[in-house]
Structure 1
Amino acid sequence: MTTVNLPKNEVRNTRTFGFTLAIAGAVLMSIDPIFIRYAGVSGFDTAFLFGLFSAISMPILLKFNDKRGIRKAVVQSGWPLLAAGVLMLGSASGLVFSIKMTSIANTFVILSAAPAVAAIFSWLILKEATSRSTLIAIVAVMIGITIVVSGSFSSGNWVGDALAVFAVICLSMMFTLLRKYQDVSRLASVGLGGLLLAMVMFFFATPSSYSVETWLIMGMMGLFTAPVGRVLSMVATRHITAPEVSMTLMLETVLAPVWAFIFFTEIPPMTSIVGGALILITIFVYTLVTMQDNTK
């Protein structure tokens, strides 16, 4: 059996392409809160539209990205697909309402803790061994979240922060579920979550009152930036490692508050900056350690 080694230039080019995809995905996903704020409708209406367009776009992307096809991918995913869809429903609704009720910086800083929270569930549910670096990262991230949330009690935004925590718990549980059942289609999970979100929020939404502008804004997000950003991050894992993708996607947490300042003159409180810095540095160092361990 012969082994084919890629030339160094080709390896370098494919890694550069992978990082480019991950960066583009992070930039697109960081714009989501701008669309949510500019939609000009209630949280229930925004969540309904977000779910509706996700349910439309994901099956299309699934058809072109999964060789099994839509029907076979859904059947082979089995009951874990339904569980992942329900968790996606919780994560997406928490995200939308959090952006409506607290600062964009707080929402994205708390969401950036997902890798550490997922490690907790992997230990509790999958009984995976937890390294010392993971334990240190979990403690540091929990301290960071506490600092971020503490600043919202005086401003009255604590409900929005709590919803972001709920979103990150649901998201992390979904990561853990998909880690255990790796045959479950990621795109189908997001699509089913979007469908469930649209169905639930329909009872609280008023679609007949939406302006053309609202439909266009949420359509741009649900059909373009949100799905394309997520697909780019998935495709990037074919060219660079998962920890490298995770580290690159941290750019989303940095860019979202920047867009919030540019579009809404929203300045995050000092507690968000301090807690956010602690979380970002922790996840960054933890990702580097993971990458080094994977190369051994």
Structure 2
Amino acid sequence: MVAVPSFIPTSGRRLGLLLAAAGMFLVSTDAVLVRLADVDGGTFAFMSGLWSTPLMWTIANRSLGRDLGTRLREYRNPLVLTGVMGAISTTAFVTAVTKTDVANVVAIIGAGPIIAAVTARIALKEHASGRTWLAIAGAIGGILVIVGGSLSAGGATGDLLAIVAISGFGMNITIWRRHPDMPRVLIVAMTATCTVVLTALMANPLSLDRTGLMATLAMGAVFGPTARFCMTTATRHASAAEVSLFTPVETVSATLWAWLWFNEVPATLTFVGGAVVLAAVFYGVTGPAREIAPPPTAHT
């Protein structure tokens, strides 16, 4: 067995924060893959889900074995709910990227901490620390700076879809936090399945060329499942507010990828806002290494 370096956490809040950061960094590649595919959002989401579904159910079967059916029945309702929310969020996000600038979409995605913190407060009675709320306020301030410098006219549809995407993600974080024992591999598998069902009628797979197929394969079989597994597992170790605090990581990273790959040069205010966001995230995760709230009891 390979030894884990001592500086890499293996449990507790620090592990949750590391997984959240890794998950959002991986998610930041989605916008690049969508642009490379150069197809409508429904087709991209459908094909990504189509690649991911058999892979994830195979992994789930090997991971859970004879317990697969039992766990499906045990968590049937929350699994379906998180799958549907994930499908809506994914489809809305990839469609938004096709209708407006990447910087616009990910700037709005950066508002995730507010939605997650509010839904967790309402649904779980989960109290975030004052430090976390200050970090959230700072991150949102940075996002507002980015929005002021990058939002362009005529992107209302894409902006609205981005709001739908981050709303679904924020609610899902609360579901994952509420059910810490729900197998994460089943969440990823169910989300892929629901995405295929949701987008089947609107998809046109024949419109994909070779590059498009490879882009959907990369997202559906590699980046998407890995990122979702990191994010769902992070909620076992850190509060919903803290996990969502890393959505601005995608805002900054995806804007950078769009600049490097497609020459979508961000405005000066985007750089300023990005620095504010990163500073806020650093402030929020470098507080006392303690759990903000104990993991809630699972409900089915």
Which of 190, 197, 200 does residue 199 from structure 1 map onto? 197
Paired amino acid for 1:264: F
Code of the residue aligned with 2:75 in structure 1: it is S
Percent of matched pairs sharing the same residue: 31
Amino acid across the alignment from 1:156: G
Q: 2-side partners of 1:138 and 1:109: how far apart? A: 14
Q: Is the 8 A contact 2:106 2:254 kept in 1?
A: yes
Go from structure 1 to structure 2 and tell me whether the alpha carbon gap of 1:42 and 1:237 turns closer, same or farther (over 3 Å shift).
closer
2:98 alignment partner, one of 100, 103, 109: 100
1:212-262 CA-to-partner distances (Å, cap 9, x unmatched) read 432232112211222234446677899xx6489888886544432222122
TM-superposed deviation, 1:50: 2.1
C-alpha change, 1:35 and 1:73, in structure 2 (3 Å) is same
Q: Is the 8 A contact 1:59 1:70 kept in 2?
A: no
Aligned-partner SS, 2:79 = helix
Task: Indicate the residue corresponding to 1:170 in structure 2.
Answer: 168
For structure 1, the residue ranges without an aligned partner over 5 or more in a row are 1-8
Rounded to whole Å, the distance in 1 between the matches of 2:22 and 2:132 is 28
Matched, 1:87 2:81: no
Is 1:292 the counterpart of 2:286? The answer is no
- Answer whether contact 1:81 1:188 (CA < 8 A) is retained: yes
- Tell me: CA distance 1:111–1:56, structure 2 relative to 1, closer, same or farther (3 Å): farther
Q: Which residue of the partner structure matches residue 224 of structure 2?
A: 226
| Deviation (angstroms), 1:149 | 3.8
- What residue in structure 2 maps to residue 262 of structure 1? 260
Residue 292 of structure 1: SS of its match in structure 2? Answer: coil
Task: Name the CA distance, whole Å, in 1 between partners of 2:75 and 2:57.
Answer: 14
Q: Deviations over 1:69-128 (max 9, x none)?
A: 533332221211111111111211121112222332343343344344211111122223
What are the superposed Cα offsets for residues 168-224 of structure 1, whole Å, 9 maximum, x if unpaired? 111111111121122323332232222222222121122233334322321122112
The superposition leaves residues 259-287 of structure 1 with CA deviations (integer Å, 9 ceiling, x where unpaired) of: 21221011123444444443333233122
Give 1:6's aligned residue.
Answer: none
Provide the residue aligned with 2:279 in structure 1. Answer: 281
Structure whose CA Rg is larger = 1
SS of structure 2 residue aligned to 1:155? coil
Determine which structure has the larger helix proportion and give its number.
1
Contact 1:94 1:166 (8 Å CA) reproduced: yes
User: How many residues in Structure 1 have an aligned counterpart in Structure 2?
Assistant: 284
Structure 2 gap ranges (5+): 293-300
Query: Among residues 1, 6, 18, which one is paired with 1:12 in the alignment?
Result: 6
> Considering only aligned residues, what root-mean-square deviation do their CA atoms show, in Å?
3.6
Change beyond 3 A, Cα 1:26–1:234: same
Taking structure 2 as the reference length, the TM-score comes to 0.76
